[in-house]
Amino acid sequence: MTLYADSFSLFQSEGVRMVQTVNYSELVERDFAAVRSAIRSGLYTGHTAGLAKGHLQCNLAIVSGDLADDFHEFCRLNPKSCPLAGVSEPGKPQVERLGETVDIRTDAARYNIYRDGVLAEQVPDLIDVWQPDFVAFAIGCSFTFENALLRAGISMRHIEMDVTVPMYRSSIKTVPCGPFGGDTVVSMRPIHEDRIDEVFEICRSYPLAHGAPLHFGAPEEIGIADVGKPDWGNAVDIGEGEVPLFWACGVTPQVAIMQAKSALSITHAPGAMLIAEVSEQCAPIYPYNDNKKPTF
């Protein structure tokens, strides 16, 4: 018997559900509905860079109710690395600001489950682990501004290579709150030196996507010994005349969750975002000043 999930088919044989997976190349030019269908049905569990163009992409952090106030304040105190797009009511798998039909439990491509601050497993959905006191925090993602950079003719190397953007634990400290704190995680994209100023101007227009870079050039100045060895994601080539630019990254809450060592917390898997119904032009709940450019 053949079953259907919107535009993608699932196959069932002798009582065993066999899923036909979907490749990135099959989704990159598809609309939001098709991308969400593939993710929600488990057909696609890869990185989401470049998918559903024009839609807001979000990092996720899900904590128990007793930790929600501290985590909310942690985001407020660190608005560039944790720009809040929305917060759920306890136990509800929806975040109103992301759209009426978004389901936190199924609409990210993959999820990380942390137990006592340690990554215990990675799962395609949260149906079996959702708790009645969970509070979900949707945090803006740098994938959102990438569409604007691509429109300006600025290449994104990780998209060209079809890999997850490289991410690094930096020496830049977050402002702690309660059990949450630790290092800021940064993502890196090589940019030609002639276009750095343009990149800063474009990215400032997307504060919910971490805005302008935190740093460029000299990775060792922010505690990164080797850009060829990211802590998350994949290494990418840096060409002649290109400079590594580093943005605050929504994996920062995962470091904070590991430090908090709560019994059970959940995040998206790095690079595998939740794609919201709403426009990428949404503003963060807590605005911040993004006018200072780091010196090279």
Q: What is the Cα–Cα distance from 259 to 184, expressed in whole angstroms?
A: 12
Please say if the pLDDT value at position 211 is more than 70. Answer: yes
Look at 290 and 182; give whichever has higher pLDDT: 182
Residue 43 falls in which region: left (phi positive, over 0), alpha (psi -120 to 50) or beta: alpha
Q: Provide the pLDDT for residue 292.
A: 66
What SS3 class is residue 188? strand
Structure tokens at 79: 């608005």
pLDDT in tens, 238-256: 999 999 999 999 999 999 9
* 244 three-class SS: strand
What tokens were used for 60? 């996720």
pTM of the model: 0.88
pLDDT tens readout for residues 73-112 = 999 999 999 999 999 999 999 999 999 999 999 999 999 9
Task: Tell whether the torsion through CA atoms of 261, 119, 101 and 59 is positive or negative.
Answer: positive
C-alpha torsion sign, points 178, 113, 88, 204: positive
**Beta carbons within 10 angstroms of residue 235's beta carbon:** 15
Would you say residue 291 has pLDDT above 80?
no
